[in-house]
Structures are given as structure tokens and as C-alpha cells.
Amino acid sequence: MNSQRPVNLDLRTIKLPITGVTSFLHRVSGIILFLGIGIMLYALSKSLGSEEGYAEVKACLTSPLAKFVAWGLLSALLYHLVAGVRHLIMDMGIGETLEGGKLGSKIVIAVSVVVIVLAGVWIW
């Protein structure tokens, strides 16, 4: 079978439209959340286990690295939430056209940047 379709597997040269970027980021944020749940559940279990465990988790969460990880997980959660709301709105039939999809993607990125920056200010 001789296909006329171009084959480009070099990820550095592939140019995704903004709708593809937001879709990809939505999937990546879901993976980050899935992996981060394990970390957060471990910290919760340790903090609820004993008074010493609580003190250890509290001391760990005051470090800059832990704050950065918490901000990263919160950022993934916020982006995933905003993009998920966009998907729910599209399920109602709003923004299903190409122009609507592009506008919705721009709105998702703008709102996500704002809430992620606010979350960073809140954590730091």
C-alpha cells in the first residue's frame, strides 16, 4: 500500500494547533494527578498515623522543594479542572466548531495561567 500521506515522526518539528496543545496538556495533567495522588495519600497516611508523623510531614511541606511539588500538583489539578469544564461545555453543544474550539482553547490557557499564578502566590 503506497500512501500519499506525509510521515513525520520528529517530535521537534511537529506543529500542533492550539486545540491539540490544550488536549495534550489535559492528558499530561491527568497523568501528573494520577501519579501525585500516591504522594499525597502517603503524606496523608503518615500525618494521620501519629503525632510524630504529622510533625515530619509538616516539616517536610515547609521546604521550598515540597512547596514547588505541591504547586505543581495544584497546577495540574487546576488546568485539568478548567479543561474539563471546557469539555463539559462542549458536550452541551457550545464551541464545537473549529473557531469555537480555538477560542475555547485560548480561554482555557488564559484562565489556567491566572489561577495557577494565584495558586503560586497562595502557596508561597
pLDDT tens per residue across span 11-23: 788 788 999 999 9
Which tops the pLDDT comparison, 5 or 116?
116
CATH 3.20.20.30 correct for 62-121: no
Euclidean distance between CA atoms 46 and 11, whole angstroms: 41
Determine contact, residues 19/96, Cβ cutoff 8 Å.
Answer: no
The pLDDT of residue 1: 59
Is residue 2 very low, low, confident or very high in pLDDT (cuts 50, 70, 90)?
low
The pLDDT of residue 26: 97
Euclidean distance between CA atoms 118 and 14, whole angstroms: 32
Q: Report whether 26 belongs to an annotated binding site.
A: no
pLDDT of 105 > 90? The answer is: yes
Give me the half-sphere count of Cα atoms (radius 13 Å) on the Cβ side of residue 123.
Answer: 21
Mean pLDDT of the chain: 93
